[in-house]
Amino acid sequence: MDTAEIREWAKSYDESYDEELHEIEQTLHEALQAQEYITQGQLRDVVTWKLDNQAGRRSGNIERVNLVPDKFVRRVSEAALLVEDPEIQLKTLSSIPGIGCATATVVLTFYDPERYAVGDRYMVDLFFGEDRQMRVTDYPKLLSELRDRNPGGFDLRTVEKAYYQKYREENGIA
């Protein structure tokens, strides 16, 4: 995609973006930048955001997040944000019960949308041609693909939104 297409597709994403989910993203971005860790309550919001249309999975994952103390979530997430390696970051964040690789990418994206993007099975299918869940080892490759497809001037979250929205529309995903 060129600059105009990325702008157009990202705008289309934003126009269909649920206001409550957008508020979660904005609020958590500001909080994570200031705190440099995530709280248990904020992590529940991430799970809510990621699994918005999957009530059963969402409530089960939130229950698992609630099994560990807030202090554990804070320390694990703080440790994850101290390193620059996305594989180590995902492994660290996904050590929190209820947090898988895809949800861990949301934490990183909300923390720093300039450098990170949300990864999931749709992005794996789009960039790697495989309809499967995202693996820890996929994430650095996904970020590299998005950087390579960025015509310049966009944060990775914006580029990801554009490719995700185009993929959704071309594949009839609500």
| Angle made by CA atoms 154, 25, 46, in degrees to the nearest 5 | 125
The model's confidence at residue 167, banded by pLDDT at 50, 70 and 90, is very high
pLDDT digits (tens, 9 = 90+) for 44-54: 999 999 887 77
Strands (E) across 1-156 are located at none
Report pLDDT for 85. 96
Report pLDDT for 87. 96
Distance CA 123, CA 126 (A): 5
pLDDT for residue 147 is more than 90: yes
The model's confidence at residue 55, banded by pLDDT at 50, 70 and 90, is low
HSE toward the beta carbon, residue 112, CA cutoff 13 A = 14
Measure CA of the first residue to CA of the last residue in the chain; give whole Å.
Answer: 22
What global pTM score does this model have?
A: 0.93
Report the percentage of the chain scoring pLDDT > 70: 98
Distance CA 26, CA 15 (A): 15
Task: Indicate the average pLDDT of the chain.
Answer: 93
The model's confidence at residue 35, banded by pLDDT at 50, 70 and 90, is very high
96: left (phi over 0), alpha (psi -120 to 50) or beta: beta
DSSP letters spanning 3-19: HHHHHHHHHHHHHHS-H
3-state secondary structure of 159: helix
Distance CA 61, CA 37 (A): 19
pLDDT digits (tens, 9 = 90+) for 75-124: 999 999 999 999 999 999 999 999 999 999 999 999 999 999 999 999 99
Report pLDDT for 14. 94
Q: Are 48 and 28 spatial neighbours (Cβ–Cβ below 8 Å)? A: no
